[in-house]
Chain A
Amino acid sequence: MKVVTANRLQDGAVVYLAPDNSWSERFSGAVLITDAEAQDVISVISGRVREIADAYLIDADASGPVGRETLRETIRSAGPTVRPDLGKQGERA
């Protein structure tokens, strides 16, 4: 399965495509899509240039990013591991 992720244009924040086609700041709000759908979705999404700086697909399941880029994407979804007060992990409290 895949998830569409991007950096939001205004502030660069990491966002995920949500089921209602909006952007979620949390991985938990992301919509899982099948590998077969992925290319179509990303090409449509890439047209939304006013919202995001870039968009790409990551391998994921319901629990979070998986596969080769797990660490990178986990850090993106949480924040720098050396500053637990910053990024999304810091906002959670």
Chain B
Amino acid sequence: MYRYDEFDETIVRERVKEFRGQVERRLSGEITEDQFKPLRLMNGLYLQLHAYMLRVAIPYGTLSSRQMRQLAFIAREYDKGYGHMTTRQNIQYNWPALVDTPAILDALADVEMHAIQTSGNCIRNVTSDQYAGAAEDEVEDPRPWCEIIRQWSSFHPEFSFLPRKFKIAVTASEHDRAAVKVHDIGLRLYKNSEGRTGFEVLVGGGLGRTPYIGHVIRDFLPKEHLLSYLEAILRVYNLLGRRDNAYKARIKIQVNAEGIDAFRGMVEEEWARIKDSGVDLPREEIERIRRYFAPPPFEKLPRESTAFNDAAASDKGFARWARVNTVAHKQPGYAIVNISLKPPGKPPGDISDEQMEAAAHIAERYSFDELRVTHEQNICLPHVKKDDLYAVYQSLQAADLATANIGLASDIIACPGLDYCTLANARSIPIAERIAERFSAAGVEDDIGELKIKISGCINACGHHHVGHIGILGVDKKGEEFYQITLGGSGAEDASIGEIAGRGLSSDEVIDAVERLVDYYRANRQDGERFLDAYRRLGLDRFKEAIYADAQAA
């Protein structure tokens, strides 16, 4: 795992010191809120409905047990005993006091973490596949490249004041778990027909008010040129992106206004100019960073585990959990374990300090000291021996962390919504809780199979509703909460933007409507067909009828 070098350490400590001074000046009244606000935002500190909110970056989702314990410590000591995992592989604390923030940032710096570039018009936390380094289908671990991007983009003087925020995601697998097609820049590492590994580069994807799927700007970028190519894209955007209108300032607007071919032309021209000017890292440096992500010392094990098979045969709950929450690992005898933060009836993505401690402990003991947070607001233990799965399951159970629903109907993404967020139109969490409860209580989740429900409390789409198989968007109608359903979205390799299914529904209606959609799917699917595939085959109109059939009568 990557460790900060001295340079990082110094710069982060200095930032904390600087912020401590700014907080003191704010508290003494020397500076006003208007002057202070941009300064606190630069350090990840927002003001929400009930309190301040601190957003902490978890670079490419990777955490050591020590870091997770520190996050737990902060939750307990300075917050209300929990944190919230976001769709951008960040953790948010909902109740920190301003006066405590410098101490929190120091505590983060103690474990090489910070909240820098989690706000503002800069390059944000680089996100990646939570199965990086473990996935069976990856061509190589994408995280060294994430780290290279992190170092390059941290405090980048030219790109600290972009027209708007900028998000980059990286994957190295065929199956896209990092939603690269809906990022400002999406990078997919793959092996081309000549056997060389490089990046497919996508640009101009994004959600929010104007959702777009990213365009391929380059089919194949040799890896060693990653930074110069990114720099070329960012430079074209920085110079020409619209600064006059926040709604039109994202790169997706520029790319789609210019057309991808024209945009590509400008980028290629710029790239030709800077390609050999020393922006790219020398090979030794790439190798040095890569060494930090060397695979852990796996044991040579048989593919099958007798201990696992025996436990699964005698404990049905374990067998189901293992089937739903674990994934094949590239190393024989190992598995990837997903820890669901979606127990039905609880806020998606929330985790208590005790659960963080428990997860840290389990990771230390069974997963080479490593944890990942996922953009779907869960956690994962990347490297667990199959022989240890039963012990891991029992430890997770003891910590209330053994919900078996990964990828199923109750594994819902939901943003904080009107329960916490100042920008919200409507609440998201109660809708997620009620839908999850309904499906899990009915015991139909396994039969429904893969279903991605995603909920946002406003058009900013932090809950990724546009790319939900079923998306739900909170809208405000004369002060009342209403919900608009979108259908057929996907954030994976088969990415698409969901289609709006019609007029908004009340909070009660929307729960019933989702159930009717699923009933309709179950009645009309073909063998092995996922909800999304059935939708794509049958089309919007038929599903729409299912939604509004009874809602009208009601």
Chain A residues close to B by CB (< 8 Å) = 7, 9-14, 49-50, 53-54, 67-72, 75-76, 79-83, 86-87
Residue B430 interfacial (CB < 8 Å)? yes
A11 near B418 (CB under 8 angstroms)? no
Would A13 and B51 count as touching, CB distance under 8 A?
A: yes
For residue B99, CB closer than 8 A to chain A, the reply is yes
Q: Is the beta-carbon distance between B99 and A76 smaller than 8 angstroms?
A: no
Q: Are A11 and B50 in contact, with the CB atoms below 8 A?
A: no
Contacts A/B (CB < 8 Å), 22 sampled: A7-B47, A10-B98, A11-B51, A12-B47, A12-B48, A12-B50, A12-B95, A12-B98, A49-B32, A54-B33, A54-B47, A67-B479, A68-B478, A69-B479, A71-B479, A72-B424, A75-B418, A75-B419, A80-B419, A81-B419, A86-B95, A87-B50
Task: Give Cα distance in the complex from A43 to B420, angstroms.
Answer: 27
A-B contact count (CB 8 A): 75
Q: Complex: how many Å from CA A75 to CA B481?
A: 13
List 8 other contacts, CB 8 Å, given A14-B50, A80-B429: A11-B98, A13-B50, A13-B51, A14-B49, A68-B479, A72-B418, A82-B419, A82-B427
Any A CB within 8 A of the CB of B97:
yes
Beta-carbon contact of A82 and B50 below 8 Å: no
A82 touching B433 by the CB < 8 A rule?
yes
Whether B29 is near chain A, meaning CB under 8 Å from some CB there, is yes
Name the interface residues of B1-57: CB closer than 8 Å to any CB of A: 26-29, 32-33, 47-52
Residues on B facing A (Cβ under 8 Å): 26-29, 32-33, 47-52, 80, 95, 97-99, 347, 418-420, 424, 427, 429-430, 433, 478-481
Q: Which one of B48, B49, B424, B479 has the greatest number of beta carbons of chain A within 10 Å?
A: B49
Chain B residue nearest to A14 in the complex (CB)? B50
Q: Is the interface of A mostly helix, strand, loop or mixed?
A: loop
Q: How many whole Å from A91's CB to the nearest CB in chain B?
A: 11
When the two chains form their complex, are residues A9 and B26 in contact, meaning their CB atoms are under 8 A apart? Answer: yes
How far does the alpha carbon of A49 sit from the alpha carbon of B478 in the complex, in Å? 33
B residues in contact with A68, CB < 8 Å: 478-479
Closest B residue to A80 using CB positions: B419
What distance in Å separates the Cβ of A6 from its nearest Cβ neighbour in chain B?
A: 10
CB–CB B479/A50 < 8 A:
no
Q: Is the CB of A10 within 8 A of B27?
A: yes
Report the minimum CB–CB distance from B105 to chain A (whole Å).
16
Contact B80 A86, beta carbon cutoff 8 Å = yes
| Cα-based distance from A83 to B51 in the complex (angstroms) | 14
Partner of A12, one of B51, B424, B478: B51
CA–CA, A69 and B49, complex, Å? 13
CA distance A17 to B28 in the complex (A): 21
A49 shortest CB reach to chain B, Å: 5
Q: Hey, which chain B residues are within 8 Å of A67, CB to CB?
A: 479
- A82-B430 in contact given A11-B51, A12-B52 (Cβ < 8 Å): yes
Chain A residue with Cβ nearest B419? A80
Residues of B within 8 A of A82 (CB): 347, 419, 427, 429-430, 433
Q: Are B347 and A76 in contact (CB under 8 A)?
A: no
Contacts of A54 in B (CB 8 A): 33, 47
Would you give the shortest CB distance from A89 to chain B, in whole angstroms? 11
In the complex, the answer to whether A76 meets B50 with C-beta atoms within 8 Å is yes
Residue picked from A81, A82, A87, most chain B C-beta under 10 Å: A82
* A7 adjacent to B427 (CB under 8 Å): no
Closest to A47 in B: B32
The answer to whether B98 and A72 have CB atoms under 8 Å apart is no
Alpha-carbon distance A72/B479, docked complex (angstroms)? 9
Inter-chain CA distance A48–B166, complex, in Å, is 36
CA distance A70 to B478 in the complex (A): 10
Contacts of B347 in A (CB 8 A): 82-83
With A9-B98, A80-B419 in contact, is A53–B50 under 8 Å at CB? no
Q: Check A9–B479 contact: CB distance below 8 A.
A: no
What's the nearest-Cβ distance from chain A to residue B114, in Å?
21
Q: Are B430 and A11 in contact (CB under 8 A)?
A: no
Task: Enumerate chain A residues within 8 angstroms of B29, measured Cβ to Cβ.
Answer: 49-50
A86 to B81, CA, bound (A): 11
Q: Which residues of chain A are within 8 angstroms of B50 by Cβ–Cβ distance? A: 12-14, 76, 79-80, 86-87
Chain A residues, Cβ within 8 Å of B98: 9-12, 53
In the complex, residue of chain A having the shortest beta-carbon distance to the beta carbon of B100: A11
Known contacts A12-B98, A75-B419, A82-B419: does B51 contact A7 (CB below 8 Å)? yes
Complex: A21 Cα to B47 Cα, angstroms: 23
Task: Choose one: B49, B433, B480; the contact of A75 (CB below 8 Å).
Answer: B49
Which chain A residue has the least Cβ–Cβ distance from B432?
A82
Contact between B33 and A49 (Cβ–Cβ < 8 Å)?
yes
- Please determine whether B97 and A53 come into contact, CB atoms closer than 8 angstroms: no
Q: Is the CB of A50 within 8 A of B27?
A: yes
Q: Which of B28, B97, B419 contacts A50 (CB 8 A)?
A: B28
Question: How far, in Å, is A22 (CB) from chain B's closest CB?
Answer: 17
**Which residues on A sit within 8 Å (CB–CB) of B420?**
80
What is the CA–CA distance of A87 and B419 in the complex, to the nearest angstrom? Answer: 11
* Nearest B residue to A76, CB-CB: B49
Residues of A within 8 A of B33 (CB): 9, 49, 53-54
Question: Which residues of the other chain, B, contact A10 by a CB distance below 8 angstroms?
Answer: 27, 97-99
State in angstroms the CA–CA spacing of A59 and B424 once bound together: 19
Check if A9 sits within 8 Å of B418, measured CB to CB.
no
A14, A79, A83, most chain B CB atoms within 10 A: A83
**Complex CA–CA separation, A7 to B433 (angstroms):** 28
Distance A33 CA – B32 CA, assembled complex (angstroms): 26
Q: How far is the CA of A11 from the CA of B47 in the complex (A)?
A: 10
A92–B158 alpha-carbon span in the complex (Å): 50
Complex Cα–Cα for A87 and B28 (A) = 26
CA A83 – CA B79 in complex, angstroms? Answer: 14
- Please measure, in the bound complex, the distance between the C-alpha atom of A82 and the C-alpha atom of B433, giving whole angstroms: 9
User: Roughly how many angstroms separate A53 CA and B26 CA in the complex, as a whole number?
Assistant: 10
**Nearest residue, chain A, Cβ from B52:** A12
Give me the 7 closest cross-chain CB pairs, A-B, nearest first.
Answer: A11-B97, A12-B51, A50-B29, A80-B419, A68-B479, A12-B52, A82-B429
